[in-house]
Amino acid sequence: MKRSVIAAFAAATVAAAICGCGQSKPKLHLYNWSDYIDPEIVKEFEQQFNCKVVTDTFDLNESMFAKLKAGATGYDIVFPSSYMVELMRDQGFIQEIDVSRIPNLANIDHDYDSVIADPTFHYSVPYMMSNAGIAYNEELCKDFEPTWRVFGDKRYARSCTLLNDMRETLGAALKTLGYSLNTTNEAEVAQAADLVIEWSKNIAKFDNELYKNGIANGHFVLVHGYNGDLGQVIEENDNIVYALPKEGVSIACDEMVILSGAKELDLAYAFINFVHDPEIAARNMEYTCYLCPNRPAYEFLPEEVRKDESIFIPAEIREKSETIRDLGDFNAIYVKAWDRVKASQ
């Protein structure tokens, strides 16, 4: 049987199992980052599996987890970054994955095993790789240098933004100082907080959402943000350029996990398998401008995406980059440092 025939047969079987005659369509509930999936792909999934996909969005790992911890229920699949997968697993929020139900796991690109939470997929399946860098408007920043220190440059006072994200922004400062963004040295974290406080006096705001429109419409001239979100902006505005700071960046994998209380397990497995179909994964990459670590999908990508260094990061930057990890009890030191940043505003 050809792959598409097998997929259609599997879809029909799952759809028949989950939707008897006369019943309303089952609903798969996703809790995902914003602008992180091609809506056409969601529609196709709904049609093939005769269901409705309901999506809520978040813009910060910590606020997503705080909402779940506060008792939010009803989600089937959530998309945390790898370090948050570790915390969610340890605190019993996610269920073990039955890998036999996701045949497309065979497509995962194991070149990224050091970034993802678990290359054996016991609790999570990689969705997209992202990195956080700097986008700037080349009309307004003529001699831009790719360094995090640009956030202290007085020429850009009140017209730049930093992510409102403890680990990303303290991480950028740690890289600038030559430290690991996963350091467990309290003095290094304190120095990074001092540097962020210095930058904070120069920036317009800490922000995770509005920076996209802000740089697109010229309100901000440079912003700290995620490569794909900024890639989406670049498609609309030729003056925007994405740069990877020379000190190194954070590389994340955002993963799919099934919550312990998930109600639509059949659909959840079908969805995870669906987004790892190589053709679907390639279309999703083209739309979101992020990298789905799915090796056969790369062949379906147009050349300009395959050559895009904001998606496929060059080796010399990758070597200097790191993945944010859960630091256990030491997380509290980062929280304390970030509180100090916020209190200084």
Binding footprint of ligand N2P on the chain (CB under 6 A): 33-36, 81, 130, 226, 229, 252, 254
Shortest approach of ligand N2P to residue 71 CB, angstroms?
24
Whether residue 325 contacts residue 182, with contact meaning beta carbons closer than 8 Å, is answered with yes
Shortest approach of ligand N2P to residue 249 CB, angstroms?
12
Question: Which residue, 81 or 183, is less far from ligand N2P as judged by CB?
Answer: 81
Question: Which residue, 75 or 226, is less far from ligand N2P as judged by CB?
Answer: 226
Question: Which residue, 188 or 229, is less far from ligand N2P as judged by CB?
Answer: 229
Question: Which residue, 31 or 33, is less far from ligand N2P as judged by CB?
Answer: 33
Question: Which residue, 152 or 171, is less far from ligand N2P as judged by CB?
Answer: 171
Determine the residue type at 291: L
Buried b (16+ CB within 10 A) or exposed e, 283-321: bbbebbbbbbbbebbbebbeeebeebebbebeeebbeeb
Q: How many CA atoms lie within 13 A of 80 on its CB side?
A: 30
Shortest approach of ligand N2P to residue 33 CB, angstroms?
4
Question: Which residue, 86 or 254, is less far from ligand N2P as judged by CB?
Answer: 254
Q: What is the dihedral of CA 197, 344, 212, 302, to 10 degrees?
A: 40
Shortest approach of ligand N2P to residue 131 CB, angstroms?
8
Shortest approach of ligand N2P to residue 81 CB, angstroms?
5
Distances (CA, A) of 191 to 34, 94, 176, 179: 32, 35, 11, 10
Shortest approach of ligand N2P to residue 208 CB, angstroms?
8
Distances (CA, A) of 149 to 175, 203, 242, 273, 329: 10, 12, 16, 42, 30
Question: Which residue, 34 or 48, is less far from ligand N2P as judged by CB?
Answer: 34
Structure tokens at 130: 């992202």
- DSSP E strand stretches across the chain: 27-33, 52-58, 77-78, 125-137, 160-162, 205-206, 222-226, 240-243, 250-258
Strand partners, 253: 129
Structure tokens at 74: 């009803």
Shortest approach of ligand N2P to residue 343 CB, angstroms?
26
